[in-house]
Structure 1
Amino acid sequence: MKVLLAGYNIDSETIEELKNSSNYNKENLTPETLSAAYARISRDPRDINILRKESREEVEKSRKSNSTIIFGLGHSSVAEHAFLNFDIIGLSRLAVEEVQKFRLASFTEKSQRYITLEDDYLIPNGFSGEDLELFNETIKVQNSAYHKLYDSLKDYLFNKYSEKVSKKKGKIIVDGWAKEDARYVVSLATLSQFGMSVNARSLENMLRRFSASKLQEVQDLGKAIFEKVNGFAPSIIKYIEKTEYDSKRVENLRLLVNSIPKSSKSSDEVKLVSYDKDIDNKVLASILYEYGFDDYDQAYSYVLSLSLVEKMKLVTNSQQFRKSYNSVCRGYEYGDFTFELLLTATNYAQFKRHRLSSQVTGDYDIDYGVKMPHTIEEAGLKDIFNQVIQKTDETYRKLKKSSPSLADYILTNAHRRKVLVKMNLRELYHFVSLRSDEHAQWDIREISDMLKNIVRDKAPVVSQFLLGKDSFLL
């Protein structure tokens, strides 16, 4: 694993100073000066640019100020003005899932959909002897199958879509289809890389949570990131060690859950858990409130007096002039749906990016089975796929007994976990627009279409324009 600090935000006037002088002060090349300057805004009447100038010229004073304000007085939001960018290279897909759960950060990841994989994978610390031998043997079987499937799927799809691949763009698209379906047999130990941008306050929270991770790989990542940051910005990140709340809480709750008897597991891909049965009326009332009807009870009563046609017209008015890339108004946030989803690792890798929704993930479980891409069966390749899954499941069962915290690394992108997700209607509009589009990856598109159909059935008025952006009607 390698962590590179790719960049960080510095004062624009510092950049100008560098342009005009070869004898510059390297000490002020730190985001700490911005945090210190902005912290003074609330109590110092001078113009902000003067505060920034003073902060740049007195870096040590700025650092002391940050420490006092952020950690002494508890004004943690000051640290949000320091923004950092990282290259994270050589992290497993399993660890990536843990890192990218955090809402207040931005990630761009290496895509297994567009890039041909090169058999690189992580050997987790803790495997030895027969376990290590079995782990490596299974990974080799998976990776060998990936290349066989990719080559065979490419031939099959190029023949099936011969007209499309006659053009350069079409060839790239169809080749991507072969890659995205072949990857279902590779493991969660497969290495990845991504760019991460995050403010210092969120980063401190991430590092503290990393220190409590059950994955040593994630713990090591946290230490590597802190080492990079602490060298040039020591005053904005301080508390990175796990607390009892971070570690013992998880342990105690898991022990409690494991002691509770459970019945057979549901294998439904999408299950509606809860929703507000009056969602149409409440969302419409919220839309009216947003645009000037400043008494909610009166707005709600007015909506109840409308006919179905009038309600539909109100929804149309609320989305008039909207293009497929525009968000619906905030009034749509006042209607929630909670779903339980059964997602493959491939699907979850995409779904987790919708971080404004509330997501609670369950563990991967081989009892949920796997999901085979349709093209693999169409091309007569299901025996290769099934042999890999059988080998993987056998290895997983053995590793789960001897190394339970590491066993998930051997699972494939086709294995599944449950996710409890709550999304308001505004987020659902965004999600469905992207994921029910014809260009979306098929696995998440299938889930999105099921969500769309459920929502349109339960909230037919306010969800009448809930559709993929390729079908956008307005």
Structure 2
Amino acid sequence: MESFTEKERGILSQFCTNTDRDCFALINLPEAVKGALFSRYSRSSKSLRRVLLDEFILNPEAGFAEIVGEMKNRGESQLVATKKAEEFYDRVLVGYGDDSVAELGGAHLAAENISIVLTKIMQDARIGISPLEKSTRYVYFDQKVDGRYRYLQEERIMQSKYADEYIRACDLLFDTYAQLIPQMAKIEEEKFPREAEVSERAYASTIRAKVCDILRGILPASTLTNAGFFGNGRAFEYLLTKMHASPLSEPRAIAKEAQGELSKVIPSFVKRADSKYGKEMQEYIARTRDMSRDIALCHPSLTQAWEDGYHVSLVESDANAEDKIIAAILFSHLHADLEQVKALVARMPREERERLLNAYIGERKNRRQKPGRAFEAADYTFCVTGNFGMYRDLHRHRMLTQERQLLTTKHGFDMPPELKEAGFDKQVMEAVQNADVLYTRMAESMPHEAQYAVPLGCRMRWYIKMNLRECYHFCELRSMRQGHIDYRRVAQDMHTLLAKTHPSLVSGMKFVDYGTYELERLEAEKKIDKKLEQLKQKK
């Protein structure tokens, strides 16, 4: 353990959470300085705190005192500090690879009043970015601003002959949604009166969530929402590059805004997104997308969507999944080549295979206790036809590959049974069919923009490819009782298909919930009440 003088400890304590232990965190430093510091650290024999002292704090050429001094202030001074930190970063990192270094600094980005269409484009960034989004499951979207519902009046649509029809279609969807909120809330309250042991807070939250779940499919994909993202610089750079290359005007406009704001906090990490090299990358993304599309459109019999009900199919699975996983389990405990291990597995008796799998899965006490990395050796590909609202919930998973088709109204609409029972299905279908007419007129000449008119309850297609370890996580998490009934069904159906295909490998997946629940959020809200009570008792 390196020792520091009393003076050095006094300096370091401003920037490190401790000065006398081997594990510590950095504080009070600009992101660019943190990135530069870790980069130098990777090529130095010194400790991180010594590098910080010798090459940053006590190095007159670094201008460190000026940078950090400005950081302590607010407003314009902090922006000045970021600019100086960027200049410092560029000087320090001559000879270092920008890509990996850009993962050492991060930022929080808020994107407000963006469409649901755009949230999916931004959340396609799986690695290095963690998104959160205003939820249609817990928040009503019936508010008006300046007398208008909050949906995107997309630039190209509003300049087209479809502008007035688009406004009417979106307004009708929102009118229907807003009118049904109080009516469905009353029906659900009468159907499920509050029990004595349930708090008013928990009951109100549960009923609200139930009504949101029933009605969210009426909202159009143009609905404006808010989203937050935390990510590292490299991930943001690639996200911005892809958004700049989008065929839609909204992602391009927000990319420009986001790059401007991120340049105020992590400028060195995102500057390439729209630089000469960034523009070349944008052109590459757009060119390969358009050329691939043109070839795909040479098969007209498969380009037209048709009415199709919900279903999940297992398209691909590893025929030798068990052999792969058993070999992966054994490999880390042996000192043999993988080919030798696979040969051992090929002649291993059934009883020994089962004993090894059972030992590796172990006695799982909850869904968070997942089998180890060996279960990543087998892959499965599912194709799902389900509504867009369902897709939005499942899209957030990171450790897998998902690819969707363009939104359409032509696969049909999932009508919640509660709306049928209440006699509101005809009213809802009138609004949905009106959107379908608009979509049909727009789709041929404006296929990307036509997506904004599609209600969230309309079905779409996407595929999901994931390994068995992720299947455990996906199926058990998304089948939990507080989940939306639509995506719970997907998780349950995937589990059924997996169990039929590889029963020995899926035998440990015992936290998939097949139960049926009327008020899905009630138990979760009761738990929140208990936590709130515990917090009160701590005061």
After TM superposition, the score normalised by the length of structure 1 is: 0.87
CA distances 1:253-289 after superposition (whole Å, capped 9, x unpaired):
1111112343476846212221111212321221222
Determine the structure 2 residue equivalent to 1:50. Answer: 50
Cα separation, 2, equivalents of 1:216 and 1:12 = 48
Q: Please state how far the C-alpha of 1:370 moved relative to its aligned partner.
A: 1.8
- Superposed, which structure 2 residues align to 1:163-202 within 5 Å? 167-168=198-199, 169-202=202-235
Contact kept, 8 Å, 1:70 with 1:236, in 2: the verdict is: no
Cα separation, 2, equivalents of 1:98 and 1:293 = 45
Q: Which has the higher mean CA deviation after the structures are superposed, 461-470 or 355-364?
A: 461-470
- 1:123 equivalent to 2:124? Answer no
SS of the residue 2:380 aligns to: strand
Q: Which amino acid is the alignment partner of residue 451 of structure 1?
A: M
Q: Which amino acid is the alignment partner of residue 212 of structure 1?
A: A
Q: Please state how far the C-alpha of 1:199 moved relative to its aligned partner.
A: 0.3
Cα separation, 2, equivalents of 1:468 and 1:374 = 27
- 1:228 equivalent to 2:261? Answer yes
CA distances 1:196-233 after superposition (whole Å, capped 9, x unpaired):
00000111111111100122111111111211122344
Q: Which has the higher mean CA deviation after the structures are superposed, 345-354 or 282-291?
A: 282-291
Determine the structure 2 residue equivalent to 1:260. Answer: 299
- 1:416 equivalent to 2:459? Answer yes
Change (3 A) 1:470 1:393: closer
Q: Which has the higher mean CA deviation after the structures are superposed, 332-341 or 403-412?
A: 403-412
- Superposed, which structure 2 residues align to 1:422-441 within 5 Å? 422-441=465-484
Change (3 A) 1:153 1:280: farther
Q: Please state how far the C-alpha of 1:293 moved relative to its aligned partner.
A: 6.7
Cα separation, 1, equivalents of 2:336 and 2:89 = 41
Contact kept, 8 Å, 1:272 with 1:338, in 2: the verdict is: yes
* Gap runs ≥5 in structure 2: 1-10, 18-27, 65-82, 144-148, 516-539
Corresponding residue to 2:182 among 151, 154, 158: 151
CA RMSD of aligned residues (A): 2.8
- Superposed, which structure 2 residues align to 1:41-440 within 5 Å? 41-53=41-53, 54-55=55-56, 57-58=62-63, 63=86, 66-67=89-90, 73-104=96-127, 105-117=129-141, 118=143, 119-126=149-156, 127-128=158-159, 130-162=161-193, 167-168=198-199, 169-241=202-274, 242-243=279-280, 244-263=283-302, 267=308, 269-292=311-334, 294-306=336-348, 308=350, 310-322=352-364, 323-401=366-444, 403-440=446-483
Contact kept, 8 Å, 2:367 with 2:473, in 1: the verdict is: no
Q: Which amino acid is the alignment partner of residue 134 of structure 2?
A: K
Change (3 A) 1:332 1:339: same
Q: Which has the higher mean CA deviation after the structures are superposed, 189-198 or 393-402?
A: 393-402
Q: Matched residues, percent identical? A: 23
SS of the residue 2:124 aligns to: coil
Contact kept, 8 Å, 1:438 with 1:468, in 2: the verdict is: no
CA distances 1:106-146 after superposition (whole Å, capped 9, x unpaired):
01111110111124111111213652211111111101111
SS of the residue 2:271 aligns to: coil
Determine the structure 2 residue equivalent to 1:22. Answer: none
CA distances 1:68-89 after superposition (whole Å, capped 9, x unpaired):
7868653411111111111211
Larger Rg: 2
Cα separation, 1, equivalents of 2:104 and 2:423 = 55
Determine the structure 2 residue equivalent to 1:449. Answer: 492
Q: Which amino acid is the alignment partner of residue 106 of structure 1?
A: S
Q: Please state how far the C-alpha of 1:385 moved relative to its aligned partner.
A: 2.0
Q: Please state how far the C-alpha of 1:178 moved relative to its aligned partner.
A: 1.2
SS of the residue 2:270 aligns to: coil
CA distances 1:145-177 after superposition (whole Å, capped 9, x unpaired):
112333333223222222559723244223311
Contact kept, 8 Å, 2:476 with 2:491, in 1: the verdict is: no
* Gap runs ≥5 in structure 1: 1-10, 18-27
Contact kept, 8 Å, 1:283 with 1:334, in 2: the verdict is: yes
Determine the structure 2 residue equivalent to 1:6. Answer: none
Q: Which has the higher mean CA deviation after the structures are superposed, 347-356 or 92-101?
A: 347-356
Contact kept, 8 Å, 1:342 with 1:419, in 2: the verdict is: yes
SS of the residue 2:229 aligns to: strand
SS of the residue 1:369 aligns to: coil
Contact kept, 8 Å, 1:187 with 1:409, in 2: the verdict is: yes
Cα separation, 1, equivalents of 2:223 and 2:173 = 10
Contact kept, 8 Å, 1:436 with 1:469, in 2: the verdict is: yes
Change (3 A) 1:294 1:433: farther
Contact kept, 8 Å, 2:30 with 2:85, in 1: the verdict is: no
Change (3 A) 1:165 1:353: farther
Cα separation, 1, equivalents of 2:195 and 2:385 = 33
Contact kept, 8 Å, 2:375 with 2:469, in 1: the verdict is: yes
Change (3 A) 1:200 1:256: same
Q: Which amino acid is the alignment partner of residue 261 of structure 2?
A: K
SS of the residue 2:41 aligns to: coil
Contact kept, 8 Å, 1:84 with 1:199, in 2: the verdict is: yes
Cα separation, 2, equivalents of 1:211 and 1:444 = 32
CA distances 1:347-402 after superposition (whole Å, capped 9, x unpaired):
11111111210112111122211222232223332112211211110111223355
Cα separation, 2, equivalents of 1:71 and 1:219 = 31
Determine the structure 2 residue equivalent to 1:7. Answer: none
Aligned residues: 452
Q: Which has the higher mean CA deviation after the structures are superposed, 279-288 or 81-90?
A: 279-288
Cα separation, 2, equivalents of 1:238 and 1:70 = 15
SS of the residue 2:315 aligns to: strand
Contact kept, 8 Å, 1:357 with 1:427, in 2: the verdict is: yes
Corresponding residue to 1:463 among 488, 506, 519: 506
Contact kept, 8 Å, 2:237 with 2:270, in 1: the verdict is: yes
Contact kept, 8 Å, 1:101 with 1:355, in 2: the verdict is: no
